[in-house]
Amino acid sequence: MELTNIYDTFTLNNGVKVPCVAFGTYKAAEGDNVEILRQAVACGYRYFDTASFYGTETFLGQAVKESGIPREEFFITSKMWKDEMGYEATKEAFAKSLERLGMDYLDLYLIHWPQPSPGCEDWKTVDAETWRALEELYEEGKVRAIGLSNFLPHHIENLMKNCHVRPMVDQIEFHPGHTQETVLSYCREHDILVQAWSPVGRGRVLADELITELAAKYGVSPAQVCLRYALQRGVVPLPKSSSEERMRQNRDLFSFEISGEDMYRIGAMPPVGWSGEHPERERVRL
């Protein structure tokens, strides 16, 4: 499938089409939240990723409303946090997200993490009850697609054994130097679209000698190399930025193609840029 701009789409396993590049709102708009999001809309972004934990839902809803662009031209994703899991709590969390966004439906709703806390013994039951709530929201037409975030294959398997509606998306940390191939392979096998949070892996990846070499070779920024790599792996990148120049750069991923050899070189990079987050362990401070 050839992608030519950020409005081209991947198709989920329920037929819903998802734009191939999103604007991530986590810590992207610290300070004047609304203005940054207005700027992103003006730069052409229509797919926005938020979450109750981010604290950006209200600002995103305001930016969308003020744009004057019809709601149906946007694709909006949100997620419930670890302390909002469980059947009833999920329903409440979803309603609160809609209220903060000022919207009457979501395009995609995700379980943010598979465990309320590391070592949670009854996570399988909690996940199953949470997913049951998402299935009902989906079947009621309140959300167009449902999925997961930071779920590893054994977490997904737990849901697949009991679900009526299969997960459509799994958001994971994915960038050169940390590609989580086991998760990627599992999701492809089960027709679950992978999306990449932290797709440029912070400064350590951007300064990596291979990434900087390839940026010079293709005449683009190191961030563009990382984002293009995700697209060529069939992964939706969720870049974030508070700079208009970088917003535009992150959108311009279609004027070059990374060669097959260079894709292999990126895939074989040594580990670099991991956030320190893991769904079953305490956060590692790097």
Q: Give which of 44, 43, 33 is closest to 245, Cα–Cα.
A: 43
**For 71-89, b where at least 16 C-beta lie within 10 A, e where not — what string?**
beebbbbbbbbeebbbbeb
Q: Which DSSP string do the residues of 195-241 spell out, in sequence order?
A: EEESTT-HHHHHT-HHHHHHHHHHTS-HHHHHHHHHHHTT-EE----
Q: Which of 47, 54, 109, 229 is catalytic?
A: 54
Classify residue 166 as left (phi > 0), alpha (psi -120 to 50) or beta: beta
In sign, the C-alpha dihedral spanning 9, 106, 154, 266 is: positive
Rounded CA-CA distance 242/162 in Å is 41
Q: Would you call 278 helix, strand, or coil by DSSP? A: strand
Q: Is 45 in the active site?
A: no
Catalytic residues: 54
